[in-house]
Amino acid sequence: MLKTKLKIVEIFYSLQGEGANTGKPFVFIRLSNCNLNCWFCDTDWNKGQEYTLEQLLNEVNQYSCKNILWTGGEPTLQLTDEILRYFEGYYHAIETNGTNEVPSLIDYITVSPKVKPSEIKPTRINEIRYPIELNTPIPSIKELPHAENYFLSPMFMGAPRQRFDMVKANVDYCIHYIKNHPEWRLSLQTHKILNIL
């Protein structure tokens, strides 16, 4: 058995609220630590407690769902193929900031870029989902790595662990941009709108 321990902020079972998997149930594993410090981050990723893989699998096995979404913080700082093999039979999705390559055993990769398009590291991407506020410069899809889906996600405002409110100006900005650049799609954070836990 692997002796690896993962530092985790929280584990919860819910529905994916954004992107192409909206409405799909997942066991969310939010890993601690990040290599960036984005002002708009909705996670207190400095906190967390250590889990052995056995403890983590026991937590995950409480739920009938066989989908795991690894998020953070930045999950690529801890996650490896060796760890993923321990969760045999599970479908693995990840949400990453794009600064590191992703383990090969991940089934679905969401990159929410926090770096220049030329600095995005994953070579296989299912969706790119940009957090957008009013007047954020939006890169051309031609500048970005190939992905199956390209989303603009209007930023909600609030503090971690508190209510996040939709900002109409951010939504309107995304809608206007998408109307003029129809290769993009809108992704609203429905889990925040509906207060889904």
Residues that are catalytic = 28, 34, 38, 41-43, 95, 191
In 16-97, DSSP assigns E strands to 25-31, 49-52, 67-71, 91-96
Burial of 66 (0-12, 13-18, 19+ CB in 10 A): middle
Distances (CA, A) of 183 to 116, 126, 142, 186: 19, 15, 10, 10
146 beta partners: none
